[in-house]
A and B are shown apart, each in its own frame.
Chain A
Amino acid sequence: MSLDQGDRRTARDRILERVPARFRDRVADQIEEPPDLPLEEFGQPRRLLRASSRLPLVGPLRPRTWKSPLRGSWTTAIFAVVLLVGLPVVTITGLLSYIAYQPQFHQAIPAHVGYLHLPYFLWPTHPVWLYRFTQGLHVALGIALIPVVLAKLWSVIPKLFTFPPARSLFQLLERASLLLLVGSILFELATGVLNIQYDYVFRFDFYTAHYYGAWVFVFAFLTHVLIKWPAMRRGLKSRKLRAVLAEDLAHTEPEPYTADGLAPQAPAKPTLSRRGLLAVVGGASAMLTIFTIGDTVGDPVRFTALLSPRGQSYRGGPGHFQVNRTAKAAQITAAETGAAWRLVITGLDGQELELSRAELLSLPQVGQALPIACVEGWSTEQHWSGVRLRDLAAMVGIHRAQTAFVTSLEKSGAFKQVTLGSDQVRDEKTLLALKVAGLDLLPDHGYPARIIVPALPGVHNTKWVKAITFTGSA
């Protein structure tokens, strides 16, 4: 029951008949006969799907529109392999960051995520560079993969315009899942990249959007891998990477055309070798890495993050480093942090103790270097000194601490308080810091006292501490 039943002329012929003769050749070039696919190529309802596919193809729907001689199953597969390895690393480090905020204590954002989380565990304090590493990797690798994602999309974009759009129910569903896949990866990259630049143009809550977007990506990605695994294997087998790397421009041949493949039907003459394409994409990733990695490595190479807000070193001297929330923004007044300031600690059976800053300084002081790392991927290592948190717990009768609930002088904001778990309170490196680099904390870094816990996300190292309540046993 095709459209041209009983009539030998195709739809294309009939269109061309209506075109004035002098334009006919030119128009004829722009209209392509649809491929005459056998009925078996369609799922049910077969005849209807086939009949609807018998339309003349114009514009990007014509296979001949797509000319790049470098597109093909191998090219797509090689980018796919890189993403297959890289994107799970970015995803898992991201989901680990959620755990590092310790959702058990209802202090991760978003707070209630239903079933959508990795198994909860207490975020460790060792190695001390753990969060610096996982989150630096999350951000740097995510950015480094942007050129690969764009190249992968470039390699498959003719598929977006295949006609008929779906030859079966399965294909229709698969294409819908691709909207989830492409939408989610671009959404994650866009929101992540804007967030680290403090460009909140999207206006919705970054954490919530980036977190649930990641889960949509996880589901769409797993499905895509399952469906495309055989195609990727075939693509990879079709050529040897070593052979591609040996091929210069003169020896770069297009991949063979197949009806449902990715190689072009009418390839143009190559202007770049296949290895050249790999070099361009790899070079772009390397360039982006150079422009971001300084944020994570910190001084003295911080300046290499030329286009990042956290690529600026603070030049005030010792004790001056990256500020995430200023005392002014947190509405901390000089009166609150002056001589009248007292730290209130509460422990076993409501035992309470008030300590002035001078009293805290007279307790045994511990000094050590620890990194502090932000969810945005930047970090810095500083030399902190102050009182061990576990020593403070002992002063109010708690020798086996379970938790410490820390509150700040801040009146608002998501990070005016934090709950620390048993490993963190008991760790010998966990301090109520009073000094950095041998000098009193600066107001912007939490004077008179702040928390510093190894491997904890930066914002949970509460500044301007007002009170600490310990739970546990004697």
Chain B
Amino acid sequence: MRRLWDRFVADVGGDPLRLLSLLACFALSGYAVYRASLGPLPERMAVWFVGAAIAHDLLLYPLYALADRSWSLLVRRGPRRLRAVPIINYVRIPAMFSALLLLVFWGVISGQGNASFRYASDHPYADYLARWLVVVGVLFGVSAVLYAIRVSRAFRGRPTPSGERA
């Protein structure tokens, strides 16, 4: 019995319990998809479902990885003076936060939902693009101030408490 079990694990690549959980997952997800398909526009839902995974893995990820790597290379080749206090994270972090806000609040920043919101609430959207720009400005501004403090400390020769800004 023991040998049969081991043989199974070796041939299939996983133990029967976990294999069963996978099969149960497919069957139950299939049931959920079936229920959803009884409603309107199931094809569109499927496209968005698969599209979400593809958009993240093959579009969003490569884009931000490329941006990050380009920036890292640029910094490494930048003027020596700037390398005394690495600037890399002082741009990277506010940029990341700004991009995250743009991604999450795309509906309002792009203005796409303005008409439906006005219809529902009798209120127009606020000017979210402007608000986002202000937030982006504040994020980079705070980062710039922190960087300036670090640089001035470095040039006064005083060591910083730790080698980084966490």
Which residues of A are in contact with B by a Cβ distance under 8 Å? 40, 42-44, 110, 112-116, 143, 146-147, 150, 153-154, 157, 160, 167-171, 173-174, 176-177, 179-180, 182-184, 186-187, 190-191, 193-194, 197-205, 208-209, 212-213, 215-216, 219-220, 222-223, 226-227, 248-250, 271-273, 275-276, 279-280, 283-284, 287-288, 291, 306-309, 311-312, 314, 322-326, 328-329, 444
Contacts and interface: CB of A to CB of B under 8 A. Distances in A.
Nearest to B13: A168
Interface of B: 10-14, 17-19, 21-26, 28-29, 31-33, 35-36, 38-42, 44-45, 48-50, 52-53, 55-57, 61, 72, 86, 88-89, 92-93, 96-97, 100-101, 104-110, 112-114, 116-117, 119-123, 125-126, 128, 131-132, 135, 162-166
A222 B28 CA distance: 12
Nearest to B110: A199
Contact of B116 (A174, A198, A291, A322): A198
A446 to B, nearest CB: 14
Nearest to A45: B11
Given A284-B96, A288-B100, A329-B120, A271 B18 contact: no
Contacts of B132: 307
Contacts of A444: 122
Contact of B18 (A40, A170, A220): A170
A3 to B, nearest CB: 22
A198 B120 contact: yes
Contacts of A250: 163
B24 to A, nearest CB: 7
A197 B105 contact: yes
Contacts of A177: 22, 25-26
A444 B119 CA distance: 12
Given A157-B57, A170-B18, A248 B163 contact: yes
B123 A323 contact: yes
Contacts of B41: 203-205
A173 B19 contact: yes
A198 B36 contact: no
For chain B, what secondary structure do more than half of its interface residues adopt (helix, strand, loop), or is it mixed? helix
Nearest to A224: B25
Contacts of A199: 106-108, 110, 112-113, 116
Nearest to A278: B166
Given A112-B38, A276-B165, A284-B97, 9 more contacts: A115-B31, A171-B13, A171-B14, A212-B36, A213-B49, A248-B162, A283-B93, A291-B105, A324-B121
B116 A306 contact: no
A132 B135 CA distance: 28
A280 B93 contact: yes
18 contacts: A170-B14, A174-B14, A180-B25, A182-B53, A183-B53, A186-B55, A190-B52, A197-B113, A199-B108, A223-B24, A223-B25, A248-B163, A271-B86, A272-B92, A308-B108, A309-B113, A323-B120, A444-B122
A365 to B, nearest CB: 28
B13 A222 contact: no
B120 A325 contact: yes
Nearest to A176: B26
A47 B110 CA distance: 53
The 7 closest A-B pairs by CB, nearest first: A168-B13, A197-B107, A199-B107, A170-B14, A170-B13, A199-B113, A198-B113
Centre residue among A153, A306, A311 by max chain B CB count within 10 A = A306
Nearest to B40: A205
B116 A200 contact: yes
A228 B121 CA distance: 46
B29 A198 contact: no
A157 B60 CA distance: 12
B32 A324 contact: no
Contact of B21 (A150, A153, A223): A223
Contacts of A201: 107, 112
Contacts of A328: 122
A202 B43 CA distance: 11
A187 B52 contact: yes
Contacts of B11: 43-44, 168
Contacts of A311: 126
Contacts of A287: 97, 100-101
Contacts of B13: 42-43, 167-171
A168 B12 contact: yes
Nearest to B102: A307
Nearest to B37: A212
Nearest to A172: B13
Contacts of A154: 61
B22 A249 contact: no
